[in-house]
Amino acid sequence: MILVTGGAGFIGANFVLDWLAQSDGPVLNLDKLTYAGNLENLASLQGDPRHVFVQGDIADGALLQGLLTEHRPRAVVNFAAESHVDRSIHGPEDFIQTNIVGTFRLLEAVRAHWGGLDEAGKAAFRFLHVSTDEVYGSLAATDSAFTEEHRYEPNSPYSASKAASDHLVRAYHHTYGLPVLTTNCSNNYGPYHFPEKLIPLMIVNALAGKPLPVYGDGMQIRDWLYVKDHCSAIRRVLAAGQLGEVYNVGGWNEKPNIEIVQTLCALLDELRPRADGKSYREQISYVKDRPGHDRRYAIDARKLEKELGWKPAETFETGIRKTVQWYLDHPDWVAHVQSGSYRDWVSKQYR
């Protein structure tokens, strides 16, 4: 068994689904079920004895100790995090509590569990921490992409909290010998993405006839990674990564935000045309830029390819088409995640 934290969220749920589709190894799934954690993401696993779900917080040390003692997982994959930059600007404390304090409590529980294993169990155990490229800060247009040796320069409460969690993981390896691995990924997209992030928000708003809000001039550049490619990279690092190492995971797809929005409009024009025959591009609306908005992220994933043989299977063109089609095919899921609190948040952020 492996323990997956945050396994009802966007990336975590995709990882759990893919893991169980390719392995008979059971998953203990711990998720707090905050606004972005959604058991509907895991509906296909209902009744599957290989999936054990527990609602709980990674900051709950007693709960963690009990779960580790009872289930004795051979690995922990930590997705649990507050992850939205905009929310961290308006309310940073939740990010400090989950991403820093929560990671600390998880590491402490895992350290105690690992310390009680026999030598073979210790040697086989892994703690994989999933992080973000945002810890590296922002790049100029001509700068080289982020490598694993890039200096940490976080610019938002979110990225600062993730940077702190990365440092804790590193410290627990060097101080206590905990067998850790860290991955830093670029922007993910794909199925089950909560519609506050750019791609799902644009799809949902477009279909609802609402404005498509683009920050500033829309020329902020991100490297886009299809979520199932990210999941395959994590599986590969978990299986063969060198202890204590960091692996950057990217899609080799640098694109400005406005190009992403225009691509989505073109796909929707093709797959679900507007009733009036006009393009969804007419719904694009530029809004005031957010504070401290990083201009460019880019991941250099050559270490992961060279050392572990991983590279993404999807191009942006294939991945984004699959993503749009998924949202068109799952209107009930979209409707269910759009609670009153979600609508209030979007109204406040993009008013």
| Number of residues written out for the chain | 351
pLDDT in tens, 268-298: 999 999 999 999 999 999 999 988 888 999 9
pLDDT of residue 196: 82
Quick one: which H or E segment has residue 228? helix 227-240
- The interaxial angle of helices 257-271 and 316-329, nearest 10 deg, is 50
Catalytic residues: 133-134, 158
Q: Which amino acid is at 205?
A: N
Other Cβ atoms less than 10 A from the Cβ of 309: the count is 9
Whole-prediction pTM value?
0.94
Q: What is the pLDDT of residue 351?
A: 57
Q: Are 168 and 104 in contact (CB under 8 A)?
A: yes
Neighbours of 22 (CB within 10 A): 11
pLDDT score at 350: 57
Those residues of the chain that have pLDDT short of 70 are 339-347, 349-351
CB 257 within 8 A of CB 219: yes
Both tokens of 56, joined, read 């709980």
Strand partners, 247: 183
Continuous segment of H or E residues that includes residue 13:
helix 10-22
Cβ(309)–Cβ(180) under 8 Å?
no
- Work out whether strand 180-185 and strand 246-249 pair parallel, antiparallel, or are unpaired: parallel
Check residue 146 and report its DSSP letter. Answer: B
Query: Which is nearest to 114 in space by CA: 100, 124, 103, 101?
Result: 124
Residues 6+ apart with CB under 8 A from 49: 26
CB neighbour class for 200 (10 Å; exposed up to 12, middle 13-18, buried from 19): buried
Burial of 72 from C-beta contacts in 10 A (0-12 / 13-18 / 19+) = middle
DSSP SS3 for 301: coil
Q: What angle in degrees, to the nearest 10, is found between the helix axes of 227-240 and 10-22?
A: 60
Domains of the chain, earliest start first: 2-189+226-250+294-313 (3.40.50.720)
β-pairing, 221-226 vs 254-256, is: antiparallel
User: What does the DSSP 8-state code read for residue 17?
Assistant: H
Instruction: Please name which of 112, 11, 104 lies closest in space to residue 66, comparing C-alpha atoms.
Output: 112
User: How do residues 104-157 score in pLDDT, each as one tens digit?
Assistant: 999 999 999 999 999 999 999 999 999 999 999 999 999 999 999 999 999 999
For position 342, what pLDDT does the model report? 47
Dist. CA 104–CA 138, nearest whole Å:
26
